[in-house]
Amino acid sequence: MSYVYVLATVLLTVYSQLVIKRQVLAAGAFPDDVSGKAHFLLGLLLDPLVISAFIALLLAVVAWMAAMTKLQLSHAYPFTSLAFLLVMLFSNFLFDEPLTTLKVVGAVVVVAGLAIGSQG
């Protein structure tokens, strides 16, 4: 069950990052003036999807605490790198962000590190 909590941590974190990116893109350019910036950020903070992202992050923390009751931190933490991989893939799919050779090589290194780091 502990690995389910780790997976929930990863998926909730990925959800929050993707939703925040989506809503920031939808909000448009960041204003230059101070009052415009404040209004822009307040609008995002009150956006229901952004609020859902904050709730997802809170739930991710709760899931992580549950995982930590059974797993060693040094064993479980490498699995959080899966969030990096998922965000990279979904960013390409949802936002047309480039998936470059260097990013793919980096992802392979992360997966190798996860495989090695999670042993023992």
* Residue 38 in tokens: 């404040």
Residue 77 per-residue DSSP state? G
State the pLDDT confidence band at 120, using cuts at 50, 70 and 90.
Answer: low
Give alpha helix (H) positions in 28-120: 34-45, 48-68, 73-76, 81-95, 101-117
Q: pLDDT digit string (tens) for 41-65? A: 999 999 999 999 999 999 999 999 9
Residue 69 per-residue DSSP state? T
